[in-house]
Amino acid sequence: MTFYIDTKKAGSAGKISWFLKKCILNYSASWNELVFLCIGTDRLTGDCLGPYVGQQLTRQLPGRFHIYGTLSHPVHALNLCDTSRHIIKHHPQALVIAIDASLGQKKHLGYVTIGNGALYPGAAVQKELPPVGDIHITGIVNTAGMMEQLTLQTTRLSTVISLADKITEGILAAVPSSVQNSCFIQKL
């Protein structure tokens, strides 16, 4: 099941936090560490949501959790497979939360989606990339339709930043920086 949160409404970061906790609690496999896989590139405005979230999480949660994908070290189509293999090798018991920008219906512009299950990066621009993550979070940055690559190039930066800020705020509320992985598991 995928949950949709309108970030233009008051309390949206709290809802993101609540749904993220719900997805974590509903994840059936055992895990002992948390990995955030923030997908996208800083070279396309509409696709920088993931790296921007990764950048903020790195600043807010230094050393607490494993974060892959920032503005200076993005995880994108060219290195996603290598990064996924690295995560599987070095974090075999991790719960991976994948974060990416997405395109959607006009009525969902500015929404965040959260759900259990893998994320399919690049699907909006017809790229065939492997599914990643155990839980997915997406920010709907623009509308899907024709010429998706151009749509991502002309996406408003303010939309991306607003969505990324809400996602980051929701994650930080769900995973406080003062909590270590083992404590986080027990508190849930």
Which residue type sits at 57?
L
**Host domain of residue 170:** 2-8+16-23+32-155+162-175
| Bridge partner list, 6 | 111
Dump pLDDT digits (tens) for 141-185: 998 877 777 777 888 999 999 999 999 999 999 986 544 444 444
Q: Whose structure tokens read 């990764």?
A: 54
- Tell me if 185 is assigned to some domain: no
Residue 138 sits at the vertex; the CA angle it makes with 136 and 139, to the nearest 5 degrees, is 165
For the chain, the domain total comes to 1
- Tell me if 45 is assigned to some domain: yes
Q: H/E element holding 84?
A: helix 80-90
- Tell me if 98 is assigned to some domain: yes
- Tell me if 135 is assigned to some domain: yes
* CATH code of the domain in which 57 resides: 3.40.50.1470
Dump pLDDT digits (tens) for 11-40: 999 999 999 999 999 998 999 999 999 999
Question: pLDDT band at 103, cuts 50/70/90?
Answer: very high
Q: Is 85 exposed, middle or buried (0-12, 13-18, 19+ CB in 10 A)?
A: exposed
